[in-house]
Amino acid sequence: MNICAAAATGSSCTSTSSSILVFISSSLSNSTKTKFLPSVSRFSSKRICSFPQTHQRVAVCKPSMNLLNRLGFGSMRASENMDSTIPQGPDDDIPAPGQQFAQFGGGCFWGVELIFQRVPGVTKTEVGYSQGYLHNPTYEDICTGTTNHSEVVRVQYDPKECGYETLLDVFWDKHDPTTLNRQGNDVGTQYRSGIYYYTPEQEKAARESLERQQQKLNRKIVTELLPAKKFYRAEEYHQQYLEKGGRFGFKQSAAKGCNDPIRCYG
């Protein structure tokens, strides 16, 4: 099995690749991969996270779904049911009266959601999948790396209390927009940096904000700016994951204005 050590320095986990090879070799040599694979779901669904840690943790992690997919163990549904008609359409959900939506991708959505939960004027957050080609994807589907989905947080906010520019500032401040398809040790297309706008006004503000941010950095920003597409709400256990206690049962505050360090697994 794959063991990850969450260090206090922000690089949360390191993988023991040899354990993955043992897993694969054992499965292939004994011709039992169809029997053995369901046990993968017993492992944690998140491998790594780039948010700072305040305590050293040891977590059991499942093998990389991208690796399994390349070796023929991936989701058949993800490869057989691609259809861009619905998932590539606009997000047609409607926010509460007087509220607006914003959508961001900045790595593992657990930590990103908690960051936005703490912003005054944000009235609701949801984590989910967007920008992909598979209708009604599951977490296992997007982990294959074949569906093009991004882990996103959909933010509902009151524009009278929180401007869109404030959300953009939080977005830039809390992740690295210069690393392609990764945040820290979280690697894969689902962890890419993205701003997904709902209106021409949001698009204009996002582009201007990106230009200002680029002037501050000596590396190229790779954040994608695209229209918000259909939002697929993630499985319930992902919602407000860190506020509810995360992997270790240590609840983290989602109080407005809270500045406590975020422990990405709880």
Provide the annotated active-site residues. Answer: 108
Centre a 10 Å sphere on the Cβ of residue 11 and count the other Cβ atoms it contains.
Answer: 16
- 58's enclosing H/E stretch is strand 57-61
Q: What is the residue-wise DSSP string for 69-96?
A: HHTT-S-HHHHH-B--TTTTSB----PP
CB 10 within 8 A of CB 184: yes
**Cβ density class 156-167: b for 16+ within 10 Å, e for less:** bbeeeebebebb
Quote the CA–CA distance of 123 and 125 in Å, as a whole number: 7
Whose tokens are 């492992």? That residue is 43
Quote the CA–CA distance of 54 and 121 in Å, as a whole number: 28
CB 69 within 8 A of CB 75: yes
Residues 6+ apart with CB under 8 A from 36: 26, 27
Q: Dihedral sign, CA of 255, 231, 108, 63?
A: positive
Which DSSP state fits 54? S
Pair of tokens at residue 123: 């009235």
CB 20 within 8 A of CB 64: yes
